[in-house]
Amino acid sequence: MVEVSKRIKQLPPYLFAEIDRLKEEVIAKGMDVIDLGVGDPDIPTPNEIVKAAKKALEKPENHRYPSYVGMYEFRKAVADWYKRRFGVELDPNTEVVSLIGSKEGIAHLPLAYIDSGDYALVPDPGYPVYPVAVMFAGGEVYKMSLLEENGFLPDLDAIDRDILRKTKLMFIGYPNNPTSAVAEKDFYKKVIELAKEFDFIVASDNAYSEICYDNYKPISFLEVEGAKDVGIEFHSLSKTFNMTGWRIGFAVGNKDVIAALGKVKTNIDSGIFQAVQEAGIYALNNAETLNKNIRDVFQTRRDQMAEALQKAGLEFKKPLATFYFWVKVPEGFTSAEFTKKLLQEKGIVVTPGNGFGDAGEGYFRISITNPRIEEAVERIKSAVV
């Protein structure tokens, strides 16, 4: 049998695939499992969006190959939403590209810019696709540790200047997965200054901007002066509208970077099914109404989870955005040991912090995409005692 490539051999087990394997083992033993692992909303996509898709599905013109970069009407809806939501002006012709979910665009971007020996700056802990995409492109990964004492923001001054001179790309993502930290304009200003000084591209992952609490409104990287000169932002309809399975997202920002990403896409995929794009247009054009109901559900769950975790004596910071809690592992356990104990003894699925990178050791991530919150935390509490 032909051997797989070196890049495949270098791949770590995909975090959630390994969790699913362990979960199936526990279920097979008859245990009732409460899954607080993957960030996949349990709430259905709003019915109005489903109706828009059904109507679009009946159009014969939507059954053909779609545009690689996305329907103009979809890109226009994206630009209009960014203007309403963030005050950011975008040209739908040159500064917006559709994606088959933001994961696809994140994975393809390094192919447009990274050559052998080039570096990409990647948050640690962070979304596992960032380093894998860089490795697939033949690049080198420099990990930026996200530490609690820095508000889970990377210490930009600590990055080796020799590395910066070889850097082509920086990934950042706020509101953050997995830590749920948020970033403000002062941080982004420093990122932009660094990118201009060392001539690299900034890729901001803003997929969680619409899952927010206590009247807090996360900002866009592109709101900050000079951001469009150095980078782009990824977004998705997945979290905003409970559309994870629909696979529809977009990237916006610097026209040259958007064009380069689009060139990769024209050679690799055939775009998003147009009926899904039409549903996306409806969602974006009615975002304020549709997203409020979703936020209200997660606000209730966020408050419920925070109260339950406090009663359990676990250490965490209440999130202002995302549907994640980043919780310290009880003393005497590693991240992997504690999460394995929870799954095998209590039937609770949470995600070990070290699965997101070495700097995630000592934490575990809880997702509030499951309504059985109080019962889950009671089981977690019993594992701690």
DSSP reduced 3-state for 347: coil
With beta carbons less than 8 A apart as the criterion, state whether 233 and 204 touch: yes
pTM (two decimals):
0.95
The pLDDT averaged over each successive group of 10 residues in the chain (385 residues) is 90 73 88 90 96 97 92 98 98 98 97 97 97 96 98 97 98 98 98 98 98 97 98 97 97 98 93 97 97 96 94 95 97 91 91 94 96 90 80
Amino acid 39: pLDDT: 87
Query: In this structure, what is the dihedral angle of CA atoms 50, 52, 54, 57, given to the nearest 10 degrees?
Result: -130
Query: In this structure, what is the dihedral angle of CA atoms 106, 183, 355, 297, given to the nearest 10 degrees?
Result: -90
Amino acid 354: pLDDT: 92
Amino acid 115: pLDDT: 96
Residues 335, 363, 347: CA angle, nearest 5 degrees? 60
Domains and CATH numbers, the chain: 6-44+295-384 (3.90.1150.10), 48-288 (3.40.640.10)
**HSE (side-chain half, CA atoms, 13 Å) at 128:** 14
